[in-house]
């Protein structure tokens, strides 16, 4: 029979020291019976509502697109794809448009000397762009300029969203996830692969819906007139600012302030901002 273990008393010189017990490694394993943590469910992918449109690269196809755009209603969602990472030029190599009642159109500007007929078809309709300062110069080079402009990125900044990328805003406000794996490809490639064209079409698929949600929030927070500078300091008859995308940049404080802490009262009055004199006129 083994002798019973006597608890070690460090103050008793007659008692032999007990060997130290090895430390047990710490573990992050859940306690028995604890259900495993589940990853948050991903939002469903954004998909095209209509079949993939063909690329417009002939005068006949462009004429048909102009008729469709002119017959649509409401604002026009516009985007452009460039190849500045592969070319010294910053020109547009694909232009995407979507309008209610018109559908989505993919126009190859390389096939034309200019897109004046498309400008005429759009007329005075409001443009919707995301990060307008990136696309306005190359669109202007093709003969396209807005009379009214809503920048969804700028609206997100003014509302204090911490991340204002298009994919993030679409997922946050519309509950749809966008793939962005083709954002940095060489858009000067011809012919353009079908997956790239689908990616491009999706960039304007829900811009109108996103604009409506952001515009409503701007109204609710009293920031509808903060969206940028105007040519004359006035406001368009429709109530939207006639503004230049190259000047429409919020101050750092407005871009980073929490939405909940935002005040509906604009900053102290200052002279109307106009386009910098060193730049080309904003409206062509």
What is the second-level CATH architecture of the domain 55-254? 2-Layer Sandwich (3.30)
Q: In the block, which residue shows the tokens 């689908």?
A: 198
Domain boundaries, the chain: 55-254
State how far the Cα of 228 lies from the Cα of 151, in Å rounded to an integer: 9
Tell me, what's the pLDDT at 17?
A: 57
Contact of 207 with 128, CB cutoff 8 Å: yes
**pLDDT by residue (tens digit) across 119-138?**
999 999 999 999 999 999 99
State how far the Cα of 92 lies from the Cα of 90, in Å rounded to an integer: 7
Is the predicted pLDDT of residue 259 greater than 50, yes or no? Answer: no
pTM of the model: 0.70
Least-confidence region, from 148-157, 220-229, 264-273: 264-273
Least-confidence region, from 56-65, 96-105, 125-134, 173-182: 173-182
Least-confidence region, from 52-56, 87-91, 159-163: 87-91
State how far the Cα of 246 lies from the Cα of 39, in Å rounded to an integer: 41
Helices and strands (DSSP H and E) totals, the chain: 8, 6
**pLDDT by residue (tens digit) across 193-240?**
999 999 999 999 999 999 999 999 999 999 998 875 433 233 333 334
Q: Which of 82, 222, 78 is nearest to 145 (CA)?
A: 78
């Amino acid at each position: 029979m083994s002798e019973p273990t006597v608890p070690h008393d460090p103050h008793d010189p007659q008692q032999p020291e007990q060997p130290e017990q090895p430390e047990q490694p710490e573990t992050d394993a859940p306690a028995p019976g604890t259900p495993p943590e589940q990853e948050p469910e991903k939002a469903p992918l954004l998909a095209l509502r209509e079949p993939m449109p063909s690329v417009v690269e002939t005068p006949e196809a462009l004429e048909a697109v102009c008729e469709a755009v002119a017959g649509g209603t409401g604002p026009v969602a516009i985007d452009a794809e460039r190849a500045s990472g592969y070319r010294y030029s910053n020109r547009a190599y694909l232009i995407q448009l979507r309008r209610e009642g018109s559908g989505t159109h993919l126009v190859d500007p390389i096939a034309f000397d200019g897109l004046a007929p498309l400008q005429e078809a759009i007329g005075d309709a409001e443009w919707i762009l995301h990060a307008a300062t990136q696309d306005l110069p190359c669109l202007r080079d093709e003969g396209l300029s807005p009379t009214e402009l809503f920048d969804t990125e700028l609206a997100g900044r003014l509302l204090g969203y911490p991340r204002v990328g298009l994919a993030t805003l679409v997922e946050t406000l519309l509950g749809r996830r966008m793939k962005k794996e083709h954002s940095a490809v060489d858009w000067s490639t011809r012919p353009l692969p079908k997956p790239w064209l689908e990616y491009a079409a999706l960039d304007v698929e829900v811009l109108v819906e996103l604009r409506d949600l952001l515009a409503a929030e701007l109204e609710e927070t009293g920031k509808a007139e903060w969206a940028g500078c105007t040519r004359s300091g006035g406001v368009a008859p429709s109530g939207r600012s006639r503004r230049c995308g190259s000047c429409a940049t919020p101050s750092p404080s407005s871009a980073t302030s929490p939405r909940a802490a935002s005040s509906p009262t604009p900053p102290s009055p200052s002279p109307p901002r106009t386009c910098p004199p060193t730049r080309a006129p904003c409206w062509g």
